[in-house]
Amino acid sequence: MNFNKDFIWGCATSSYQIEGAASEDGKIPSIWDVYADEQGRIRDGKNGRIACDHYHRYKEDVKLIKDLGVNAYRFSISWPRCFSYTNERGILKPVINEKGFDFYDRLIDELLENGIDPWITLYHWDLPAILETQGGWRNRDIHNWIADYSAEVAKRFSDRVTKFFTLNEMPCIIGGYMGWMAPGFQVSEKEHINIVHNMLLSHGNMTKAVRANAKQNVLIGCAQNGLGNYPATDSKEDYDAFIKAMNCVEANPQAYAPLEGSKCFDANSLIYYLDAIHFGKYPEKAFEIFKDKMPEIKDGDMELISTPTDIQGINIYEGRPIAAGSAPGVKDDGWHVADFPCGMDITGAKWPITPKSMNYYFKFISDRYKKPIYVSENGMSNADIVSRDGKCHDPQRIEFTERYLEELSKGIESGADVRGYFHWSLMDNMEWSNGYKERFGLVHVDFETQKRTPKDSYYWYKDLINSFRK
């Protein structure tokens, strides 16, 4: 494993998952506040009203970040904490909440005073609930709503913050319209594809808004996720199959491989989103497959979507081995997802552990889009407990991270332009629809007492970072 001295080492969180203070100091409800209050939505019946109480404990948490030794911290701004809205004759007008902005002013200053570079994510899923009443991501106007908010964030913080991500994980935002995330209802496939268009318009308009209002040069891009596919073997045939899989825009909803005639939109299709952002066009195959399901593209849309960016964030947790040849009994594009080994290693969330996701996948992205890449999230859920010795031993997370970083190093050696790594997450948190049943943190949180206990992985990550700075 080898990383240069300029490599960025960081950790990451998001506002809804850690802040709490759900109705304090003028914050209005988000779609996640509403969703979590609906019986049966959250796995353990909990909500994010308190979460990690980071809103009141941010100084303690910044000290944990400093002691960890990272030089960057990725966090999100809560849109409903900073903006509220009035409804005047059916027209929503934004109202700035100064107390919300004050919190992030204090947080940013605290980070900088401790030598930590703040990386802001503008949108990490906590849409103001009042905007969902106007259609939320189904409404094309959202690209203007979110640009107004992004412009104000840039005005307030770009004197001290120079790195911005626009949207976090667009496929998961779509999950809110598939029933398994907030706002929690299902729409048609045509509407899914239209939502993607609205998100991409938003990304472009957010990028423009930040640049227009920034007080200094900034780096900006989105943080996108997907399945980190990799060749099942070292053969040329499997590598070629891997390339075919990466260029796929359709899938069987029950499997991660295309089926002849399925013509189902694959929300995890990396190129569908990133080709639009970096090339200003959707893949031609999408028009062939989805035809009248494709969105109405108005004059200037693709130009806005492809507003130049500086960086590409990639959130990566798992992938699939891709092999040459059609799946048994299936006529498709000449590739299929190979079987995992019997007894495949899995995380606490039952996700497969696939370190090779960090290698070929990043080389593909780097070669195709020619942008500096940052691993904006990577980590694992684990069954972590504080032992009777007062410590939290998590050897599985250490093993996971080491194996993933080893493969990332190989990818960089082969030419992938990856310049930083943000571990997900700093601390255990409210893990969306799974509530508090999943622990991803380097720091254990007792949600009853709010006691923070750094895990063994925290100290391992600290030592690893220090080893590359010598």
Q: Clarify whether 19 is annotated catalytic.
A: no
Q: What is the pLDDT of residue 252?
A: 75
* Burial of 114 from C-beta contacts in 10 A (0-12 / 13-18 / 19+): middle
Tracing tokens 């290693």 back to the chain, one arrives at: 345
Question: Distance from first CA to last CA of the chain, Å, rounded?
Answer: 14
Sheet strands side by side (includes 230-231): 230-231, 321-324, 335-337
Tokens of 69: 């030794």
For the chain, 470 residues long, give each residue's pLDDT as a single digit of tens. 999 999 999 999 999 999 999 999 999 999 999 999 999 999 999 999 999 999 999 999 999 999 999 999 999 999 999 999 998 887 889 999 999 999 999 999 999 999 999 999 999 999 999 999 999 999 999 999 999 999 999 999 999 999 999 999 999 999 999 999 999 999 999 999 999 999 999 999 999 999 999 999 999 999 999 899 999 999 999 999 999 999 999 887 666 667 666 778 999 999 999 999 999 999 999 999 999 999 999 999 999 999 999 999 999 999 999 999 987 767 677 899 999 999 999 999 999 999 999 999 999 999 999 999 999 999 999 999 999 999 999 999 999 999 999 999 999 999 999 999 999 999 999 999 999 999 999 999 999 999 999 999 999 999 999 999 87
Point out the catalytic residue in the list 169, 250, 407, 438: 169
Strand 117-123 relative to strand 418-424: parallel, antiparallel, unpaired? unpaired
Point out the catalytic residue in the list 377, 407, 431, 438: 377
Tokens of 374: 């940052």
pLDDT in tens, 263-295: 789 999 999 999 999 999 999 999 999 999 999
Residue among 210, 206, 144, 198 nearest 173 (CA): 198
Q: What is the pLDDT of residue 470?
A: 78
Helix ranges, 23-169 (H): 31-36, 54-68, 79-82, 98-113, 129-132, 142-157
Q: What is the pLDDT of residue 352?
A: 97
Query: Residues 58, 64, 67, CA angle at the centre, nearest 5°?
Result: 140
pLDDT in tens, 68-98: 999 999 999 999 999 999 988 878 899 999 9
Domain boundaries along the sequence of the chain? 8-232+272-280+307-322+350-467
Cα(140)–Cα(135) distance, integer angstroms: 9
pLDDT in tens, 152-205: 999 999 999 999 999 999 999 999 999 999 999 999 999 999 999 999 999 999
Tracing tokens 């908010």 back to the chain, one arrives at: 149
Q: Which CATH superfamily is domain 8-232+272-280+307-322+350-467 in?
A: Glycosidases (3.20.20.80)
Q: Clarify whether 38 is annotated catalytic.
A: no
Q: Which residues contact 51 (CB under 8 A, 6 or more apart)?
A: 16, 17, 18, 19, 20, 429, 430, 447
Q: What is the pLDDT of residue 262?
A: 73
